Structure 1
Amino acid sequence: MNQPQFTTKMTVSTFQKYCWYKNELVAICQKYHLPTYGTKYELVQYIISFLEGKSAIQIKPLRKKQL
């Protein structure tokens, strides 16, 4: 099954149906100004929140960035 290109019109269920590489998730987050660090699970949660209509400004990292 070929994975579709990510779009903002994609439904959450369609997004969750496919397996995404972490670098793909980071690229999506960068493009839409979402937090770009954390685990794969955290990145997926940011994208799901975004697809559900939450503004990128409202989406905060689940944990602090470690230096």
Structure 2
Amino acid sequence: MGARQRLNSFYLFAVLIAAAILGGAAQSWLLFLISAAIMTTLLIHGGDIRPTPQTRRNSRKRH
């Protein structure tokens, strides 16, 4: 397991813990699911969770 996968799993684990705390405090499965989805989406959009490896692309090569 590479570093990217470990970081992704750590972030997802942290999201599930935070969502569980929110959902447990409100005693609501719906709040758990919504908060987990929102936090996961925000982390993916922010670039913290990277589903695919980023490749280096040279837009301009010099010869």
Q: Which has the higher helix share?
A: 2
Normalised to the residue count of structure 2, the TM-score between the two structures is: 0.33
TM-score by length of 1: 0.32
- Whichever of the two has the greater Rg, that structure is 2
Higher RCO, 1 vs 2 (CA within 8 Å, ≥6 residues apart): 2
